[in-house]
């Protein structure tokens, strides 16, 4: 996209006029003008009160008045010269952008959720010591800008997850989210805390909770889980009993700052955790 800066001489509207005024009344000139204006007023009062005339009257208030007028003229000339100089430097110069419209940025969208069997091996290489494989509930996000290009990849995106009660009055725990991307096999996964999200609508998964069918509780899961609860990943400090909860997911990265709210439903033994997206 080619952006050409065009100068319209003699036109000072909106922000251009405001900029001109700010240049005309810069701090040093404003101080001089204020002092001169005060001296003019005081001099005029003094000359009138003492009935001065001639040279005395001229010195008392005509000199400050001259300084006031001169500084105002200097300010107006300086502001006009500065704007014209800037425009002359910019005129005739063509700036080529990177092919993106102004304000273009990544657009992270929530695509859905799923409950899938958890991997048996953690990112740290720790194997779960279990007889029954738990279910992993995770959110699916994608970067879907209006004009998908490689320049709109979302870089270094991290997710911070917070769990509340249904009314959001009580905070239970928060954690740095764990991203996962399925590769060749269901036990072969990549799990990280920060990712680059391509702009081609490829799905990326943010893990939320782990739940065994035999348990009433579910457990928050991230990259620390395998260290905090290495045997079976049941992290007692991130435990949620049967009930309804509110989940806040904040995604932050380069040109990315998005917040999503969800309802989390734990229906207890023999049931998988469900997710509902809520608007606020």
> How confident is the model over 72-131, as pLDDT tens digits?
676 667 656 565 555 444 444 333 334 445 457 889 999 999 999 887 665 555 666 667
Domain match, 117 and 88 both:
no
Whole-structure pTM value: 0.59
- Domain assignment present for 101: no
**pLDDT value of residue 98:** 41
Tokens of 219: 């457990």
Domain boundary residue, one of 58, 73, 96: 96
Mean pLDDT of 45-64: 63
For range 60-80, the mean pLDDT: 66
> Is position 85 within any domain?
yes
- Report if residue 114 sits inside a domain: yes
CATH code of the domain in which 251 resides:
2.70.50
Reported confidence tier of residue 32, pLDDT bands at 50, 70, 90: low
User: Is residue 215 very low, low, confident or very high in pLDDT (cuts 50, 70, 90)?
Assistant: very high
Q: Which residue has the higher pLDDT, 91 or 190?
A: 190
Q: Same structural domain for residues 172 and 118?
A: yes
In terms of domains, do 88 and 127 share one?
A: no
Q: 117-148: per-residue pLDDT in tens?
A: 887 665 555 666 667 889 999 999 999 887 76
pLDDT of residue 75: 65
Compute the mean pLDDT over every residue in the chain, rounded to the nearest whole number. Answer: 75
Considering the domain architecture, whether residues 266 and 221 belong to the same structural domain is answered as yes
Least confident of 38-42, 211-215, 271-275: 38-42
Q: Which of 40, 72, 96 is the last residue of a domain?
A: 96
C-alpha 278/C-alpha 111 separation (Å) is 13
65, 96, 127: which is the final residue of a domain? 96
Lowest-pLDDT range, 152-166, 174-188, 210-224, 245-259?
174-188
Give pLDDT, residue 182. Answer: 60
Domain hosting residue 78, numbered range: 2-96
Residue 19 covered by a domain:
yes
Tell me, yes or no, whether 158 and 67 share the same domain: no
Contact 211, 259 (CB under 8 A): no
Give the rounded percent of residues in the chain with a pLDDT score beyond 70. Answer: 55
In a domain, 103, yes or no: no
Whether 102 maps to a domain, the answer reads no
According to the model, what pLDDT value does residue 164 have? 97
Whether 208 is covered by a domain: the verdict is yes
Return the top range by mean pLDDT from 41-55, 121-135, 158-172. Answer: 158-172
Nearest to 128 by CA among 137, 119, 115: 119
- Claim to verify: residue 130 and residue 184 sit in the same structural domain: yes
Decide if 180 is inside a domain.
Answer: yes
In terms of domains, do 65 and 191 share one? no
Residues 165 and 236 in one domain: yes
Specify whether 90 is located in the same domain as 114: no
- Let me know: does 235 contact 98? Beta carbons within 8 Å: no
Distances (CA, A) of 46 to 33, 43, 69: 20, 5, 20
Judgement on whether residues 268 and 168 belong to the same structural domain of the protein: yes
Number of domains composing the chain: 2
Domain co-membership, 119 together with 251: yes
Is the same domain home to 274 and 179? yes
């Amino acid at each position: 996209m080619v952006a050409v800066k065009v100068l319209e001489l003699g036109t000072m509207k909106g922000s251009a006029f405001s900029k001109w005024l700010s240049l005309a009344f810069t701090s040093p000139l404003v101080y001089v003008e204020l002092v001169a204006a005060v001296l003019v007023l005081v001099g005029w009062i003094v000359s009138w009160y003492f009935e001065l005339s001639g040279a005395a009257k001229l010195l008392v208030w005509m000199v400050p008045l001259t300084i006031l007028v001169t500084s105002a003229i200097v300010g107006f000339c300086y502001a006009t010269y500065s704007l014209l100089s800037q425009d002359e430097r910019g005129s005739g110069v063509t700036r080529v952008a990177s092919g993106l419209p102004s304000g273009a940025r990544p657009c992270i969208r929530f695509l859905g959720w799923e409950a899938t069997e958890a991997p048996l091996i953690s990112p740290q290489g720790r194997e779960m010591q279990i007889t029954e494989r738990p279910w992993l509930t995770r959110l699916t996000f994608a970067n879907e800008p209006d004009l998908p290009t490689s320049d709109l990849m979302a870089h270094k995106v991290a997710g911070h997850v917070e769990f509340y009660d249904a009314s959001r009055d009580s905070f239970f725990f928060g954690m740095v989210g764990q991203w996962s991307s399925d590769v060749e096999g269901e036990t072969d996964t990549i799990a990280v805390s920060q990712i680059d999200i391509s702009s081609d609508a490829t799905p990326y998964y943010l893990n939320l909770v782990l739940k065994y069918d035999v348990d009433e509780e579910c457990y928050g899961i991230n990259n620390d889980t395998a260290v905090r609860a290495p045997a079976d990943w049941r992290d007692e400090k991130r435990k949620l009993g049967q009930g309804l909860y509110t989940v806040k997911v904040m995604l932050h990265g380069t040109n990315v700052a998005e917040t999503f709210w969800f309802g989390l439903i734990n229906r207890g033994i023999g049931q998988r955790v469900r997710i509902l997206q809520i608007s606020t």
